[in-house]
Amino acid sequence: MGGVYPVFIMKALCFALFACAFNLLIGFGGLLSFGHAMFLGTAGYVSAHAAKVWGLPPEVAILAGTLASTALGALTGALAIRRQGIYFAMITLAMAQMIFFFYLQTPFTGGEDGIQSVPRGRMFGVLDLSNVLVMYYVVLAIFLAGFLAIRRIIHSPFGQVLKAIRENEPRAISLGYDADRYKLIAFVLSAALSGVAGATKAIVFQLASLTDVQWQMSGEVVLMTLLGGMGTVFGPVVGAFTIISLEHFLADRGQWVTVITGAIFVVCVLAFRRGIVGELAAWWAKRRG
């Protein structure tokens, strides 16, 4: 069994959960956030700090990271949902940049070095996460819990109202739904699930760094979601695995990875706008008549 293989899939699973959380907002709420990296990074820093400095067990560290992202999501969401479209995207980007510079300057994050050598510890005092296989199945369980929770949210009455707001907000408001409240809840849920992904990633890689808070990360999750299929349940998972695989296999090409992923993005937008899963689902529906 290859030692790198589970680590590679764990990385893909963390990003898949992050993309699924992002998809909840853009795919079902119609809200394009350009600052989602702040939730991934915040949860990573808080969980890494909690595990390393405070010595908390991994499950509590992940919970602490998730709560921090949720609180940040409530704060930024309350400000951002007051605007729509490009203004919403710009507010989230501005907030993410503010958070980035905060983490760059504040001492507890370790600046450009980040928080390194985060102990994985024992989950619930039983599961030794220093074992790669145990860590892998814990990450898989976390991913599946998040994935199924998102699916549950989408198909709940709340999710239906969210889709109605995405399709026609004035009509949803005229039916008596408080659109802002629904959008804020969707934003906070998305931030919380992004936090789960970020906190898990920090424990897996034993590292929390500025990479997870940078604006490039916010762009990457947009790419993953669009490539896989926005507004589909499996799309972000496929998109995340595709992008992470490309980055892995093309790592020796240096900066060409960015060029290639950029080209794929352009082709995706021009040729198949529904993404991989969206196009497959449309083909399947057409075939079945």
- Binding track over 116-135 against other proteins, x by CB under 8 A: ----------------xx--
Smallest distance from the beta carbon of 197 to other proteins, in angstroms?
16
Decide if 230 contacts 278 (C-beta within 8 A). Answer: yes
**Interaction of residue 236 with other proteins, rule CB under 8 A:** no
Based on the number of CB atoms within 10 Å of its own CB, is 150 exposed (0-12), middle (13-18) or buried (19 or more)? buried
HSE, side-chain direction, 13 A CA sphere, residue 186: 32
**Interaction of residue 257 with other proteins, rule CB under 8 A:** no
Q: Which of 94, 281 has the CB closer to other proteins?
A: 281
**Interaction of residue 1 with other proteins, rule CB under 8 A:** yes
CA distances from 173 to 83, 156, 163 (A): 16, 19, 13
**Interaction of residue 239 with other proteins, rule CB under 8 A:** no
Is 196 in a helix, a strand, or coil?
Answer: helix
In whole angstroms, give the CA distance from residue 74 to residue 187. Answer: 8
**Interaction of residue 140 with other proteins, rule CB under 8 A:** yes
Decide if 206 contacts 116 (C-beta within 8 A). Answer: yes
Q: Which of 78, 148 has the CB closer to other proteins?
A: 148
Q: Which of 116, 131 has the CB closer to other proteins?
A: 131
In whole angstroms, give the CA distance from residue 189 to residue 70. Answer: 7
**Interaction of residue 249 with other proteins, rule CB under 8 A:** yes
Smallest distance from the beta carbon of 17 to other proteins, in angstroms?
12
Q: Which amino acid is at 81?
A: I
Q: Which of residues 150-189 bind other proteins (CB under 8 A)?
A: 151, 155-157, 160
Kindly report the CA angle at 20 between 29 and 157, in degrees rounded to 5?
45
Smallest distance from the beta carbon of 7 to other proteins, in angstroms?
9
Smallest distance from the beta carbon of 2 to other proteins, in angstroms?
4
Those residues with Cβ within 8 angstroms of residue 201's Cβ, 6 or more apart along the chain or in another chain: 11, 14, 15, 40, 44, 212
Q: Which of residues 268-287 bind other proteins (CB under 8 A)?
A: 281, 284
Question: Dihedral (C-alpha) 237, 242, 245, 249: value to the nearest 10 degrees?
Answer: 180
Q: Which of 106, 156 has the CB closer to other proteins?
A: 156
Among 21, 233, 240, 243, binds other proteins (CB under 8 A): 233
Q: Which of 133, 270 has the CB closer to other proteins?
A: 133
**Interaction of residue 2 with other proteins, rule CB under 8 A:** yes
Decide if 104 contacts 41 (C-beta within 8 A). Answer: no
Q: For binding to other proteins (CB under 8 A), which residues are involved?
A: 1-2, 4-6, 8-9, 13, 132-133, 136-137, 140, 143-144, 148, 151, 155-157, 160, 233-234, 237, 248-249, 281, 284
